[in-house]
A = this chain, B = another copy of it.
Amino acid sequence: MTHTIVASHSREVIIGFDQPFCVIGERINPTGRKKLAAEMVEGNFSTVESDALAQVAAGATILDVNAGVTAVDPNTTEPPLLVRTIEIVQGLVDVPISIDSSVTSAIEAGLRVAKGRPLVNSVTGEPEKLEAILPLIKKYDVPVVAISNDETGISEDPDVRFAVAKKIVEHAADYGIKPHDIVVDPLVMPIGAMGTAGQQVFRLVRRLRDELGVNTTCGLSNISFGLPHRHGINAAFIPMVIASGMTSAIMNPCRPAEMEAVHGANVLNGTDENCANWISIYRDHTPAAAGQPASAVSAGGAKGGRRGGRSARRGVAA
């Protein structure tokens, strides 16, 4: 059984087929968040702190930390800022960290200060990336997210993306890095732009699991880019990728619809023993609080008369 171990100084998280879905909180990332970027440049980490606390409270089991505030001279500016951000986050919460940067020197600086066994996000199939990142993964004995694109870009052909992932796993083996320390991101395309994006990723995740034996992750909300009511698409996508074998995602844990889908899929995937987590969260759930109009509840028969009836008629024990 493939187990990817990620740890803080005090807490271990296992990513695996037999484990609850691993939610990697995406919020501490100034990309596309101008206000956060400006704050971080000024040395103001109040949003970083509140995002760290809110995400852990919402159920994130790992926090992604990115400090890419500028495209200008990131080799100089990003390493110290990433170090400071990691130190602030791990001083505040005890979940493991995912060190997220496209700048190799920033990743190495982060690895020097991150406690426990952080996840590195990420390496790609580009030769210079493989040569820069894989030695760090080996040296610090940490797991890494492997994104299935290379120097030719992102292929729309899922077989090519599988081949890129396989190439990364093979290169990692040359460095002595085991498949269980590689978490493949098969790349999720927006379904609004490519109608086969869902079926592609379901098939890819299954192949990555069956043929390469690796854990998988994705930037979850890419799937709904450009569509109305994105949270509805995200919340349907989560159970489908979990049913296909995906074991983690980089996502926003502060969205109740998405987290409900994660918790529900864990129950149905057999990774929430005795439904204990579901019951602890939703024991006192009232439909109105979750946003169902109260009228719909009575119309729909929330207490399940018909359902019990069907169960009874077919003799299903409850």
Contacts and interface: CB of A to CB of B under 8 A. Distances in A.
Nearest to A51: B299
Interface stretch (A86-94, A136-144, A172-180, A262-270): A262-270
A135 interface: no
B267 A222 contact: no
Interface string A251-283: 010111100110111011110011100110011
A276 to B, nearest CB: 11
A273 B194 CA distance: 10
A300 B230 CA distance: 12
A31 B306 contact: yes
A296 B33 contact: no
A290 B292 CA distance: 7
A44 interface: no
Nearest to A199: B270
Contact of A32 (B243, B279, B312, B316): B312
Given A190-B316, A193-B317, A291-B291, A307 B221 contact: yes
A227 B275 contact: yes
Contacts of A102: 313
This chain's copy number in the assembly: 2
A16 interface: no
Nearest to A206: B243
A196 B271 CA distance: 10
Contact of A222 (B154, B199, B279, B316): B316
B306 A27 contact: yes
B26 A198 contact: no
A95 interface: no
Interface in A194-239: 195-199, 202, 219, 221-223, 225-233, 235-239
* Of listed A242, A268, A270, A285, residue having the most chain B CB within 10 A: A268
A240 interface: yes
Contact of A296 (B255, B263, B309): B255
A109 interface: no
A318 interface: yes
A269 B315 contact: no
Contacts of A231: 287, 292, 302
Given A255-B296, A264-B236, A314 B33 contact: no
B317 A230 contact: no
Nearest to A236: B264
Nearest to A274: B195
B240 A318 contact: no
Given A237-B268, A250-B310, A225 B299 contact: no
A192 interface: yes
Given A229-B285, A306-B252, A307-B221, A268 B316 contact: no
18 contacts: A26-B306, A32-B309, A187-B316, A190-B311, A190-B316, A193-B317, A195-B273, A195-B275, A196-B270, A222-B310, A222-B311, A222-B314, A225-B304, A231-B292, A235-B264, A236-B238, A237-B264, A243-B243
